[in-house]
Amino acid sequence: MDDITFAVLGTGGIGRRALDLPRHKDGLTPVAACDRHGIAVDPDGLDVDELLAATAGDAAGGDARADGGAGGGRPADGRAGGGAEAGGAAVERGGVAASAQAEPTETPIDDAIAASDAFDAVLLALPNLEHDFVPRVTDRFVEAGYEGVVVDVLKRSRVIGMLDERADDFEEAGITVVCGAGATPGFLTGAAAIAAQSFVEVESVEIWWGVGLESGYEDNRGTVREDIAHLDGYDLDAVRDLSDEEIEGIVDAHGGVLEFRDMEHADDALLERAGICDAADVTVGGVLDVRSDEKPTTTTVRVTGRTFDGETATNTFELGDETSMAANVNGPALGYLTAAVRRNRAGDYGVLGPAELMPRF
């Protein structure tokens, strides 16, 4: 298949690694990247070394309260943040705008959409700290007449339904959307769907993940914020309004190790829409260590079911403890992106989940 060009919206931890990974794979070329400060576009391929060096130390691009990995606050009009602080005062040139390839902007997503003729696919590395934020971003691609692939790494179950409600619009526009295409949901959702093939009835799916982030909150603001919203006593609204200092205080209060149980995680909705099992039969939990790259627990998928000959068994899938979050999120995300471009070029539009599509290596 022909080479694939893609854009990354949001240059927090996930976005930066998505730009870096294609240097180790053939056929993928990042041609655009934006955060709230600026946008860089080069149809021949970005100078990733220069871009990452220019944004080093500013991985989240500043205030992460509204869109995290996109690098900052989002105005009420739905844009993914701008190059201005509250009150309209100009911000210092930082984030992507610090790159020699970039231009500062107050409308980064609109500018990315305007440049969409340069790319086949877009990875939305935007933490969804408002339930309908990413779905509304996809609306803007539809309205602009974009034809191509949109891949997200959404975590919340209820957001999958919002994208499904837009399926007809995507099909009419010629857009193929892959939702929840990271590690979990994503890679592990797909693993559960394969493990379920041994059974005629799936009784339960248990996903238990472990992530170590020695680089800490500073380089992973969006990810950590979204996860904290799953702790008892917190939700997305509460977490979105917390300052960075308050988030770091929560991390400190837990000794840097956060444990989650019965998360509202999109694996359940994605497995149900693929016909694997009922959403109620899926449980997701895990442990996040913000101060160590060593995983605090082994990431495991356990699928229990009944075989056609009446036996009950459990199929188990484990990730190697040596694989990092970056490898397990960005590798699958770009693998799903590659597979989706293939489907899109064949005229297959609409919404797909990671249990319905095999990522392409």
In whole angstroms, how far apart are CA 4 and each of 31, 194, 339? Answer: 10, 27, 11
- Is 25 one of the catalytic residues? no
Cα separation of 324 and 35, whole Å? 24
3-state helix, strand and coil shares in percent for the chain, rounded to the nearest 5 = 35, 20, 40
Q: CB neighbours (10 Å) of residue 275?
A: 11
Reading phi first (left if > 0) and then psi (alpha if -120 to 50, else beta), residue 287 is in beta
Task: From the candidates 226, 265, 272, 295, give the one annotated as an active-site residue.
Answer: 226
Task: From the candidates 155, 265, 272, 295, give the one annotated as an active-site residue.
Answer: 155
- Is 165 one of the catalytic residues? no
Q: CB neighbours (10 Å) of residue 135?
A: 22
Query: What H or E segment, with its residue span, contains residue 352?
Result: strand 350-352
Task: From the candidates 37, 106, 230, 265, give the one annotated as an active-site residue.
Answer: 230
Q: Is 171 helix (H, G, I), strand (E, B) or coil?
A: helix
- Is 295 one of the catalytic residues? no
Q: What residues have CB less than 8 Å from 83, skipping those under 6 apart?
A: 36, 37, 38, 90, 91, 97, 104, 105, 106, 108
Query: What H or E segment, with its residue span, contains residue 316?
Result: strand 312-318
Q: Are 353 and 167 in contact (CB under 8 A)?
A: no
Query: What H or E segment, with its residue span, contains residue 343?
Result: helix 325-345
Q: Are 18 and 334 in contact (CB under 8 A)?
A: yes
Cα separation of 207 and 299, whole Å? 8
Reading phi first (left if > 0) and then psi (alpha if -120 to 50, else beta), residue 90 is in beta
Active site residues: 155, 226, 230
